[in-house]
Amino acid sequence: MDLNNLTINKVHNALLKKEFSTLELVNNYLEKIKKDDSKISAFLTFEEKTAIKEAKKVDDLIAKNSEKVPILAGIPLAIKDNIMVEGIKTTCGSYILKDYKSCYEATCVKKLRKLGSIILGKTNLDEFAMGASTEYSAFFPTKNPHDLKRVPGGSSGGSAAAVSANLCLASLGSDTGGSIRQPASFCGVVGLKPTYGAVSRYGLVAFASSLDQIGPITKTIEDAEIIFEAISGKDPLDSTSVDFKSQNSNFDLNFDLKDLHIGVPKEYFVKGIDKDVEEIIRKAIKKIEAAGAKIEEISLYHTKYVIPTYYLIATSEASANLARYDGIKYGLSEQKSDNLMDVYLKTRGRGFGREVKRRIMLGTYALSSGYYDAYYLKAQKMRILIKNDFEKAFKKVDVIFSPVSPTAAFKIGEKTKDPLSMYLADIFTASVNLAGLPALSVPVGYNDNNLPVGLQIIGKPFEEKKILKIGRFYE
C-alpha cells in the first residue's frame, strides 16, 4: 500500500484493521522528509524522536482498545512555525527567535495532541507571517513542489508545500490576509481560513491580532473538515473565541445545488488578473451553474480600498505586537551595548529582517501623533464599509466565488524587489480577513505551465461546513 497518498479516514480505517502500524506510517513520512525536503525546504524543525515515541503510544492504544481510538490518532501533521508546540523551537522564521523554545502549547495543538495526532515538525514561513511567498524567512526560501523554481506562496508556504509534496498528511497554517488560502492555491491543496473567533489564537504568535486566524491545509475537503472540527470552539484562554458549536446552525446542510445562489464579484475580474487564471475560475463557475446553481454578479464596491486598508491596519497592529521583542525577556539579545536603548536598537536591527522592519515602520508611522486620524482611524472606518459590502451581498447570495490570487505561483525572486507587487497578491483574500469571514481555497485546474489554480469560496460567519460541502462538488 502507498502510504503517501492516503486521507485521514483511510489511515484511520487501515490502522484499526492493522493493515500497517502507526510506527510504520510515521517512519514512512520521516524517511520521505529526509529524502525530499532538501529540495523543497518546507521544514525548519524536525521532531523524529518525539514522533516515533508518540507513534508507539498510538499503537499501544489500538492494541488495547481499538473502539476508543479517535479519528486523528496516529495522523502525521506539520505545524507552521508561528504556532507554539511545547518544548520545540518556535522561530517564526525570524533570526530574533532562532533559538527560542516554546514553554507552552497553543490550544489548537493541545487539542490535536489529545486526540493522538503526531507532530513531525515545524514548517517554514515568511518572517512573523509577513509575506506572500515564503522568501522572507530569515533562514531559507521554500520551493513549490510543482516547480522548484517557483514560490509556494506565503506566509504558510512551508505548511502548503509539505502537504503538496506528501511530507505530512495535513498541516496547520495561519491566515492574516490570505496566508492559508494563497499557498494552498499555489501548491494545489485545500486551505480553510475559518471565521474570526472559530479557532482559538492562544499560542499563535501575534502578527495582527484582529486579523489572524489558524486553519488547516489538507489534501481533501473531508480532511480539512475533520481537522477544523478538532481545533475549533470556545477557549477561555482566548476572549475572542466563540462557542458556535453549541448554537443551532442557521442553515440547512441538506441543501440542493439548485437552491444555491452564488455571487461573483465584478471587481475581482479586472485588469491585472492572469488570463489563464480567469479562464479556469470562469470554467469552475460555469460547471456548478450547469449543475443547477444560480450565478449572480454582485458588487463589492470598496474592493479598490482593500489593500491600503489591510496594510494600514495589519502593520499598525504588528508595530504594537512586535514591540515585545526587546532583547530583555527572550530571543536574541545584544547585551554588549552601552545602555538600554542600544540593547533595543541593536537587537531589533540585527534580529528583524527587511520586510518586518518595513512593516513596523509603516505601522508606527500610521499610529503616530498627528497621523493616527489620517491613516489608522480612516482605515478602520473603511474596514466597516468593506464588511458592509459583504453583508449586503449575503442578503442576496448564499456564498461568493472568486479567484484566490490574480496569478498562479510566480518565480522565486520575481517580486521581492517590488514590495507593492507582492502586496497585491493579497487583493482577493485580505478583504475576507477584514470582514472576519470563513473562506476556502479548493484546487480547480492547472494553467499552461501546469501550475495549480485555486477557487475561493467565501461564506457567511461560522458557515464553514456549508462552504466545505460546496467545495466537495469540485472533488
Q: How many domains does the chain have?
A: 2
Alpha helices in 84-164 (DSSP H): 107-114, 157-164
Residues 6+ apart with CB under 8 A from 205: 82, 83, 84, 90, 92, 128, 129
> Which one is catalytic: 21, 32, 41, 80?
80
Q: Is the same domain home to 321 and 407? A: no
Angle at 236 between CA 232 and CA 237, to 5 degrees: 90
Question: How many CB atoms are located within 10 Å of the residue 17 CB?
Answer: 9
Whether the pLDDT of residue 421 is over 90: the answer is no
Nearest-angstrom CA–CA distance, 434 and 385: 10
- Pair (171, 315) in one structural domain: no
User: Residue 46 in contact with residue 33, Cβ under 8 Å?
Assistant: yes
> Can you tell me the distance from the alpha carbon of 208 to that of 203, in angstroms, rounded to the nearest whole number?
14
Confidence of residue 48 (pLDDT cuts 50, 70, 90): very high
Tell me, yes or no, whether 384 and 364 share the same domain.
no
CA distances from 291 to 166, 362, 416 (A): 32, 47, 42
Looking at the domain assignment, is residue 168 inside a domain? yes
Please compute the mean of the pLDDT values over residues 32-51 and round it to a whole number.
97
The residue among 13, 318, 66, 44 whose CA lies nearest residue 171 is: 44
Enclosing domain of residue 324: 307-374
Task: Report the C-alpha gap between 264 and 237 in whole angstroms.
Answer: 38
- Hey, is 123 helix, strand or coil? strand
Among candidate residues 192, 197, 206, the one with its CA nearest the CA of residue 234 = 197
Helix-helix angle 354-367:306-321, to 10 degrees? 100
Does one domain contain both 348 and 405? Answer: no
Cα distance between residue 453 and residue 280, in whole Å: 7
The verdict on 350 and 397 lying in the same domain is: no
Q: Is 246 a catalytic residue?
A: no
The answer to whether residue 14 sits within a structural domain is no
Q: For residue 251, what pLDDT is reported?
A: 55
Taking only the tens place, the pLDDT of each residue in 275-284 is 999 999 999 9
Q: For this structure, is 80 an active site residue?
A: yes
pLDDT, mean over the chain: 95
Query: Which residue among the candidates 133, 155, 200, 402 is catalytic per the annotation?
Result: 155
Does 327 lie in the same domain as 410? no
With a CB cutoff of 8 Å and minimum separation 6, the contacts of 246 are none
190 inside domain: yes
Q: Tell me the pLDDT tens digit for each residue of 435-447.
A: 999 999 999 999 9
User: Looking at 179, 319, 402, 405, which residue is catalytic?
Assistant: 179
Mark whether 294 is an active-site residue. no
Q: Are residues 145 and 29 in the same domain?
A: yes
Domain boundary among 327, 350, 374: 374
Could you tell me if 336 and 300 are in contact, meaning their C-beta atoms sit under 8 angstroms apart? no
Q: CA triplet 291, 427, 125: central angle to 5 degrees? A: 105
Q: CA of 102: how far to CAs of 83, 88, 173, 442, 452, in Å?
A: 9, 6, 17, 33, 35
What pLDDT does 59 receive?
96
> Do residues 438 and 290 both lie within one domain?
yes
Are 135 and 40 contained in the same domain?
A: yes
Kindly state the average pLDDT of the residues 199-205: 98
For range 365-390, the mean pLDDT: 97
Assigned domain for 61 exists: no
Q: 348, 374, 400 — which closes off a domain?
A: 374
pLDDT of residue 224: 98
The answer, as to whether pTM is greater than 0.75, is yes
For residue 252, the model assigns a pLDDT of 62
With cut-offs at 50, 70 and 90, classify the pLDDT of residue 250: low
Residues 173 and 315 in one domain: no
Confidence category of residue 148, pLDDT binned at 50, 70, 90: very high
Q: Please write the tens of the pLDDT for every residue from 206-242.
A: 999 999 999 999 999 999 999 999 999 999 999 999 9
pLDDT in the model for residue 244: 81
297 sits in which H/E element: strand 294-298
Residues 112, 454, 159, 91, CA torsion sign: negative
